[in-house]
Amino acid sequence: MEDFDLLAFEVREAAGEIGLSSLRKIAAHIGVDHTLILGIVTYKRRPTPETVTKLADGLGRDRAHWLRLAGYSVVPSEILGDRVRESPAPYSAGRRVTLDPKRFEEALRASGRLSEEDIETVISLIKEAADQGA
């Protein structure tokens, strides 16, 4: 199952858990047009970061997790400073940003946005990529 498929599945599941049985009810609950929800749950439309955030908040789910499922990278702004905008950006292949792994790890831990397991995974991936790029 692709990440975007998983987002559609999780949207339907979360809506059902709080008694929202139709696309119109989901849309009304979070304040968007029902055709937008239809596009997401039928895998025909990739939602914007703003829509994903509304969905996550309205359905009581984790924003960062759903943004990742929709294909957006989520890096706390305190890690990259002024190198990125505050809003999430689509994954960009080939774009290379060099970061100090220690500083990155400290910022991840300080943000309080990720679990310890997620932090360890991110740090492991950074070290692996650094080893391959050296």
Q: What is the pLDDT of residues 30-50, one digit of tens each?
A: 999 999 888 888 877 788 888
User: For the whole model, what pTM was predicted?
Assistant: 0.54
Q: Is the pLDDT of residue 131 over 50?
A: yes
Cα–Cα distance for residue pair 58/24, rounded to 1 Å: 14
- CATH code of residue 18: 1.10.260.40
Greater confidence, 55 or 42?
55
Determine, yes or no, domain membership for 83.
no
Encode pLDDT of 90-117 as tens digits: 444 444 455 566 777 777 777 777 788 8
The total domain count for the chain is: 2
Domain that holds residue 103: 88-133
Q: Are residues 14 and 61 in the same domain?
A: yes
Q: Are residues 52 and 11 in the same domain?
A: yes
pLDDT of residue 70: 85
Share of the chain above pLDDT 70, in %: 72
Q: Are residues 16 and 50 in the same domain?
A: yes
Q: What is the DSSP annotation of 79-120?
A: HHGGGS-SS-EE--TT------HHHHHHHHHHH--S-HHHHH
Query: Would you call 8 exposed, middle or buried from its count of C-beta atoms within 10 A (0-12, 13-18, 19+)?
Result: buried
Determine, yes or no, domain membership for 93.
yes
Cα–Cα distance for residue pair 114/98, rounded to 1 Å: 21
Q: Among the listed ranges 22-26, 36-40, 123-127, which one has the minimum average pLDDT value?
A: 123-127
Residue 112 one-letter amino acid: G
